[in-house]
Amino acid sequence: MDDDEPREDPPAPPDEQPSLWHRLRHRRRDRLAAALIGVLTLLLGFAFAVQVRSNDTDTTYSGAREEDLVRILDDVNAREDRLREQIAEQRTALGQLSDTDSQAAAALAEAQQRATELGILNGSIAAQGPGLRMTIEDPGDQITPANLLNAVQELRGAGAETMQVDDVRIGVSSAVTGSAGALQIDGQDIDAPYVVVVIGDPQVLATAMDIPGGVSATVRQRGGDVSIVQSEQVVVDALRPLDQPQYAEPTD
């Protein structure tokens, strides 16, 4: 700290002839001093540059007072809390949404399955499956609506899930009308031989037709004939228009 004060021993007076040893010593000292000065100034320059650089990077808070820093920290903490709350809320909302979403999907799948079942039941969609194809010959026009209705009832009783007669789908409200030889189902004319395609257990259905006093026996008694072909795959593709209920309304 006192380099600016005059030093006590000035450099060797030039008027005296110094000894060789003295000169060598002096030289070595000079060199050492120069090296030290170089190292020190290099360090200074290095430290200076580093300090300037590091000061450049973060000057935002380095000059702030402690109270300000504490306030800023509080602000940041409060903000973090708020954001955390928001995250929790959003998570909950997301959970609820995906919950209702999966519920809605399940309800939709169930509704679709119900619609399919009901469609098969009331004949508004085509169906396929194991069943049988029954052909009722009626050469003498002796089959009455009651006989055909009986056949339909027997088939239903034997577990028929859906059926069609001569390309007319039988639904829950189907009616057999007309007279022997000019039968109608739901107002549509059907002609002998009547081809009944039924989906259900083939074995059970065939047995139900062939019981004594049953459909086959009655038809044969009236001069007709019944041939039954059991099949693992029959297609009931006649469709029935969907009835719009005019008076009935669903109750809640």
Partner 1 sequence: MIPILGLAVGVVLGLLLDPSVPVWLQPYLPIAVVAALDAVFGGIRARFDGIFDAKVFVVSFVSNVVVAALIVFLGDQLGVGAQLSTAVVVVLGIRIFGNAAAIRRHLFRA
- Which of 24, 54, 81, 227 is in the footprint of partner 1 by CB under 8 A? 54
Return the amino acid letter for 190. I
12, 43, 93, 172: residue in contact with partner 1 (rule CB under 8 A): 43
User: Which CB atom, from 43 or from 182, has the smaller least distance to partner 1?
Assistant: 43
Distances (CA, A) of 129 to 5, 191, 204: 117, 25, 15
Does 33 sit near partner 1 (CB under 8 A)? yes
Nearest distance from C-beta of residue 67 to partner 1, angstroms? 13
Residue from 37, 72, 104, 109 in contact with partner 1 (CB under 8 A): 37
CA–CA separation, 68 and 76 (whole Å)? 12
Q: CB of 199 within 8 A of CB of 163?
A: yes
Residue 12, token pair as written in the block: 């060797």
Report if residue 4 touches partner 1, rule: CB under 8 A.
yes
Among 23, 26, 27, 36, binds partner 1 (CB under 8 A): 36
Chosen residue from 53, 187, 213, 244 binding partner 1 by CB under 8 A:
53
Interface with partner 1 includes 3 (CB under 8 A)?
yes
Count interface residues toward partner 1 (CB under 8 A): 31
Instruction: Give the binding range for partner 1 (CB under 8 A) out of 38-46, 82-90, 137-145, 177-185.
Output: 38-46
Phi, psi values for residue 70, rounded to 5°: -60, -45
The smaller minimum CB distance to partner 1, of residues 57 and 251, is found at 57
**Residue from the set 23, 24, 28, 42 that interacts with partner 1 by CB under 8 A:** 42
Give the nearest distance from C-beta 11 to partner 1 in angstroms. 8
Q: Residues 47, 105, 146, 175: which binds partner 1 (CB under 8 A)?
A: 47
Single-letter residue type at 103: Q
Which CB atom, from 15 or from 232, has the smaller least distance to partner 1? 15
The residues binding partner 1 (CB under 8 A) are: 1-4, 6-7, 10-11, 29-30, 33-34, 36-51, 53-55
